[in-house]
Amino acid sequence: MSDTASTRATRNTPDRRPLVSAPDLLSSLVPLLADWVPRQRWFAGKGRLVTGFSLLSATELLPCTGDGTAPGLLQLLVRAQQSAPPSRTPAGGDRYQLLLGVHPAPPPQLAPAVIGRPGGGPLRGRTVYDALLDSRLCGLLLERLRVPGRLGALRFCREPDAVIPSGLPGRPIAVEQSNSSIVYGDSFILKVFRRIEPGINPDLELPRALADAKCARVPAPAAWFESAAPDEGGEPTTLGVLQPFLPGSADGWQLALNALAVRADFTGSARALGHATAEVHTALAQTLPTTELRRPQLEVIAAQMTERLTATARAVPVLQPYRARLRTAFDALAAIGHDGRSWAAQRIHGDLHLGQTLRSADEGRWSLIDFEGEPARPLAERRRPQPAVRDVAAMLRSFDYAARSGPAGGDPWSLEWARRTRDAYCLGYAEAGGLDPRSAPELMRAYETDKAVYEVLYEARHRPDWLAVPMAAIRRLAAGGERAVGSDGAGPSRAAGPDGRG
């Protein structure tokens, strides 16, 4: 931030009532937000009416009610109240982070960012817009991250050895995603979390742990911002993370589709990706808590999977005929514990698919990104140690998604492509010190089945045209666990898989 901007941000005119404590701040914004928030890609409560908002905190990062023509910047944490919340929604509704620009008359190029003009309250007569579409306000956020310290309800933190140049131009990334990211001069990427759960976000926690462990497969966080006040559990709530940007890299989903389009082999890439995954798993197991899953824990996991299957078969009747057969996969998982065996659990990626991998242009080196875990699951569950094969099973499902999309998707050649790609990935994983997934058939089958069930529900709800993809895997998995790994080619997904996000 320029000197002027930083002075403006911290100065409080004595006779000016702080905007953030104005009682009608939120009520004046509600009509605008009720229309704008549900239309955002990151809004998780689609399909249910937003009945109101409540304000959790507000921080004026730049004054919003000044006389001049400089933009103001307001950070809000709000709860969105909705009709008929599903059981996963926290009491009172999901929390969201909003970054709002405020301007008496924004320049025409900001027209697509405009949210509206409050009819009353402290911002009356000004235009409120999406601050992350304004390069000037994106620049201000980066400046804040360069200078650690507290501001209002927020705390800005930086790794002591991180070098963050000033004045890098910021632009939002174009890809559809579940959060909002800004790229600064091809050097850094700031992910601003949108749906917020109290506590440390694994997308900060795990990459920091991996950086400590000297694992270079994940861009190491340089800075982040969080709530200044700890949550009920005594932890700050992570709100955004700045990481090095990997310029010129391509994501694994696109690379796999490119290979399929020209009928090219992908086994070399898949094997290298298996190496990268195993290296990350090994480092996570070395630095973060691990545990042994014994009979009671395995029973609970199997019961949760069975419950998801039952609920999904109720919601998506085409799954019903396969339910009993699929259930045997979960019974087999519980049986591991009955036999007195146990299984190692550790922190994992939690939402691994081709869209969460990047390959560098120069040396073809794979990195893994986006350690948030499956966004639909509660944070406490996402941060729990789990069998590492869950990530492997998820990646195998992604290969299946890739092989079954595109014009020739699902033809014999692409299914054979998926089978070879799966085998190469598992081989690479084992070569780099991971447990050979093929030596854990019960776990692989259970986790692949659970993932495919999740995909069925997602596709039935959001993209019925894609339902055939997980249903093909369901038929294979129901037909028998004996070749659950390495049969017709299932692999996970979400770059274009359930959730359709990257």
The residues binding ligand ADP (CB under 6 A) are 173, 175, 177-179, 181, 189, 191, 219, 243, 245-246, 249, 251, 355-356, 358, 369-370, 372, 501-502
Beta carbon nearer to Mg ion, 63 or 497: 497
181 binds, among ligand ADP, Mg ion, none (CB under 5 to 8 A by kind): ligand ADP
Shortest distance (Å) from residue 370 CB to Mg ion: 4
243 binds, among ligand ADP, Mg ion, none (CB under 5 to 8 A by kind): ligand ADP
Question: Rounded to the nearest 10 degrees, what angle do helices 267-287 and 412-431 cross at?
Answer: 40
The Cα–Cα gap between 198 and 230 comes to: 9
> In angstroms, what CA-CA distances link 94 with 40, 215, 227, 293?
14, 34, 17, 31
122 with 65: CB under 8 angstroms? yes
Shortest distance (Å) from residue 197 CB to ligand ADP: 14
251 binds, among Mg ion, ligand ADP, none (CB under 5 to 8 A by kind): ligand ADP
CB under 5 A: which stretch of 102-110, 304-312, 359-367, 368-376 binds Mg ion? 368-376
Beta carbon nearer to ligand ADP, 82 or 356: 356
- Tracing tokens 């963050």 back to the chain, one arrives at 164
Shortest distance (Å) from residue 245 CB to ligand ADP: 4
Phi-psi group of 85: left, alpha or beta (phi > 0 → left; psi -120 to 50 → alpha; rest → beta): beta
Beta carbon nearer to ligand ADP, 266 or 371: 371
147 binds, among ligand ADP, Mg ion, none (CB under 5 to 8 A by kind): none
Beta carbon nearer to ligand ADP, 118 or 375: 375
Shortest distance (Å) from residue 369 CB to Mg ion: 7
Q: Degrees (nearest 5) of the Cα angle 123, 124, 126? A: 70
- Interface mask toward Mg ion for 325-364; x: CB under 5 A: ----------------------------------------
Shortest distance (Å) from residue 485 CB to ligand ADP: 26
237 binds, among Mg ion, ligand ADP, none (CB under 5 to 8 A by kind): none
User: Is residue 437 part of the contact set for Mg ion (CB under 5 A)?
Assistant: no
Shortest distance (Å) from residue 460 CB to ligand ADP: 22
312: its two tokens: 């999904």
Beta carbon nearer to ligand ADP, 65 or 357: 357
Shortest distance (Å) from residue 354 CB to ligand ADP: 10
Question: Rounded to the nearest 10 degrees, what angle do helices 267-287 and 202-212 cross at?
Answer: 90
Beta carbon nearer to ligand ADP, 355 or 486: 355
275 binds, among ligand ADP, Mg ion, none (CB under 5 to 8 A by kind): none
Shortest distance (Å) from residue 488 CB to ligand ADP: 27
449 binds, among ligand ADP, Mg ion, none (CB under 5 to 8 A by kind): none
405 binds, among ligand ADP, Mg ion, none (CB under 5 to 8 A by kind): none
Beta carbon nearer to Mg ion, 34 or 43: 43
- Interface mask toward Mg ion for 463-502; x: CB under 5 A: ---------------------------------------x
Residue nearest to Mg ion (CB): 370
Question: Which residues are within 8 A (CB) of 274 and not within 5 positions of it... i.e. 6 or more apart?
Answer: 424, 425, 426, 427, 428, 429, 430, 431, 432, 434
CA 404 to chain CA centroid, nearest Å: 24
167 three-class SS: coil
446 with 303: CB under 8 angstroms? no
The Cα–Cα gap between 336 and 344 comes to: 12
280 closest CA partner among 436, 418, 391: 391
Question: Which residues are within 8 A (CB) of 359 and not within 5 positions of it... i.e. 6 or more apart?
Answer: 249, 250, 251, 252, 255, 269, 365, 366, 367
Shortest distance (Å) from residue 221 CB to Mg ion: 16
460 binds, among ligand ADP, Mg ion, none (CB under 5 to 8 A by kind): none
Shortest distance (Å) from residue 34 CB to Mg ion: 27
388 closest CA partner among 346, 353, 442: 346
Choose, by CB under 5 A, the member of 143, 370, 459, 488 that binds Mg ion. Answer: 370
Shortest distance (Å) from residue 173 CB to ligand ADP: 5
Residue nearest to ligand ADP (CB): 177
The Cα–Cα gap between 12 and 63 comes to: 9
Beta carbon nearer to ligand ADP, 251 or 442: 251
492 closest CA partner among 309, 354, 319: 354
| β pairing state of 180-184 and 170-172 | antiparallel
User: Where are the extended beta strands (E) located within 274-417?
Assistant: 291-293, 343-345, 357-359, 366-368
374 three-class SS: coil
Q: How far apart are the first and last CA of the chain?
A: 31
CA 29 to chain CA centroid, nearest Å: 28
Shortest distance (Å) from residue 22 CB to ligand ADP: 32
Residues that bind Mg ion (CB under 5 A): 370, 502
